[in-house]
Structure 1
């Protein structure tokens, strides 16, 4: 009987910890698992509680992906970087293009905004400057094709 009580108390404590994290912001399943595991709880118990939270609609990787992507788009990051960061957080195959559509219209428009904010409208560039700017935009997560199209459009 005391083992059952311990299990119930443990699950209650796990759920409270998960809910505290989820009240602050959306978290992926993997993030919750890592954070609550660090508190010394048993992984199997944590997974069970997370599954219950998912069933209750309190945790959603899709919601997390949208929220995270929206935040990163606001900071001027591109689709490749956002996708890689989501995968690091355990979220795969969640569409997040609607975040950029709401904020900038399209990835190309976001790329233009990021470029102009960083470099202005200067168009007289040598090869080295163009390469540095291209590298910066690609590190921000924009595909080479979009960067190439931007440079063509700006006649760089």
Structure 2
């Protein structure tokens, strides 16, 4: 069902279902995100919920698929598990499922953190002092790596530098 837009353009406004489907064609969205976009677009809550339910039943919108795509994308961008957990939670996904998805992901967090350090600071760049080491650790923590992973990766740099000097 198409309605007139309230913006004065005179163009017919697509139904909430068609609007949400159009958003899903571009990229995966969580159910919460689609609902928010529909409400911001002026659709009433009943129509938006009906559209989201229908899209879910047709498997066009699936929070599980959304989470898998988001996790793969963020890992490829070099983000750690804490950052992924926070982002998934912001999309309204349940904590038990988030925990399961992150446990099931095949990622070597330590290697990923080390790769981010190399990308940012260079392959042979070693911290010259404690302040530089702290800056590197903070960089990895902001990207969502655990303190234990950061400690292992940054201390490996210090240990490697000590081996090079010997």
Q: Which residue of 2 aligns with 1:20?
A: 22
Determine the C-alpha separation between the residues in 1 that align with 2:126 and 2:118.
11
Once the 2 structures are TM-superposed, how far is the Cα of residue 40 of structure 1 from its aligned partner?
1.1
Counterpart in the other structure of 2:9 = none
What stretches of structure 1 move > 3 A for 4+ residues in a row? Answer: 96-99
Once the two structures are superposed, residues 122-147 of structure 1 have per-residue CA deviations (whole angstroms, 9 ceiling, x without a partner) of: 23521100111101110011111000
Aligned residues: 144
CA distance in 2, matches of 1:136, 1:64: 27
Aligned-residue RMSD, C-alpha: 2.0
TM-score by length of 2: 0.78
Shift of 1:44: 2.3
Which runs of 5 or more structure 2 residues have no equivalent in the other structure?
A: 4-13, 162-166
Structure 1 residue 98, shift from structure 2 partner: 5.4
Name whichever of 139-148 and 67-76 sits farther off: 67-76
- The match for 2:135 among 132, 135, 147 is 132
Verify the 8 A CA contact 1:78 1:142 in the aligned structure 2: yes
TM-score normalised by length of structure 1: 0.83
CA deviations on 1:5-33 (whole Å, 9 max, x unpaired) are xxx668x7111011000000000001100
Which residue is 2:58 aligned to?
A: 56
Match of 2:150 among 140, 147, 151: 147
